[in-house]
């Protein structure tokens, strides 16, 4: 089965933690507090925060009362952005990202299946905002009858 790595899961928890504080007077949080809240080692959080900063999902605030905060409103940050920042491009198989990866692509019977599944997953991750997760209301995909 396809899995999001620990880095992706913990990074999402870090972002949810920051989203819960967004807009409050004590919005900026130090990683030590996130570590205590989430039960994630501070060393691991220090590694995870780097790609989130590079991708402009979080920003650091220096000085007294400083720490980390979201770079944008949690309603505008999509789960797909977090996963891509931490995991890289979200493709189920290599040929979806690079068609030159496989010379069998033109006659491959499974390529359309992988492409459709990848699109469904991507559409779902694009539809869920950080605020949806905080609110406990991620959008659901429409129910479809089994074929």
pTM attached to this predicted model: 0.84
Mean pLDDT lowest among 15-24, 29-38, 59-68: 59-68
Percent of the chain with pLDDT over 70: 93
Residue at 20 is within a domain: yes
pLDDT tens digits along 14-28: 999 999 999 887 888
Residue at 142 is within a domain: no
* Residue 141 predicted with pLDDT over 60: no
Residue at 29 is within a domain: yes
The dihedral over CA atoms of 66, 67, 73, 75, expressed in degrees to the nearest 10, equals: -150
Q: How confident is the prediction for the chain on average, in pLDDT?
A: 87
Looking up residue 70, the CATH number of its domain turns out to be: 1.10.10.10
Predicted pLDDT of residue 36: 94
Q: How many domains in the chain?
A: 1
Percent of the chain with pLDDT over 90: 58
CA distances from 127 to 21, 61, 82, 122 (A): 22, 29, 13, 9
Which helix (H) or strand (E) segment holds residue 61: the answer is strand 58-61
Structural domain containing residue 60: 6-135
59-65: average pLDDT? 87
Predicted pLDDT of residue 1: 59
Residue at 94 is within a domain: yes
DSSP SS3 for 94: helix
Q: Which tokens is 81 given? A: 């952005």
Number of helices (H), then strands (E), belonging to the chain: the values are 7, 2
* Residue 6 predicted with pLDDT over 90: yes
pLDDT tens digits along 90-126: 777 777 777 778 877 778 898 888 889 888 988 999 9
* Residue 144 predicted with pLDDT over 60: no
Predicted pLDDT of residue 69: 95
CA distances from 23 to 2, 7, 98, 118 (A): 35, 26, 41, 34
Residue at 110 is within a domain: yes
């Amino acid at each position: 089965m396809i899995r999001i790595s620990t880095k992706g899961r913990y990074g999402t928890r870090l972002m949810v933690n920051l989203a819960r504080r967004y807009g409050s007077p004590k919005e900026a949080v130090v990683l030590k507090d996130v570590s205590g809240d989430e039960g994630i080692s501070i060393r691991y959080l220090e590694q995870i925060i780097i790609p989130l900063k590079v991708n402009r999902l979080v920003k650091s605030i220096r000085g007294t009362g400083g720490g980390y905060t979201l770079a944008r409103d949690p309603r505008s940050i999509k789960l797909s952005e977090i996963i891509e920042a931490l995991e890289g491009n979200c493709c189920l198989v290599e040929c979806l990202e690079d068609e030159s990866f496989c010379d069998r692509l033109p006659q491959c019977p499974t390529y359309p299946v992988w492409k459709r599944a990848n699109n469904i997953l991507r559409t779902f991750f694009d539809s869920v905002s950080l605020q949806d997760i905080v609110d406990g209301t991620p959008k659901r995909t429409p129910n479809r009858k089994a074929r």
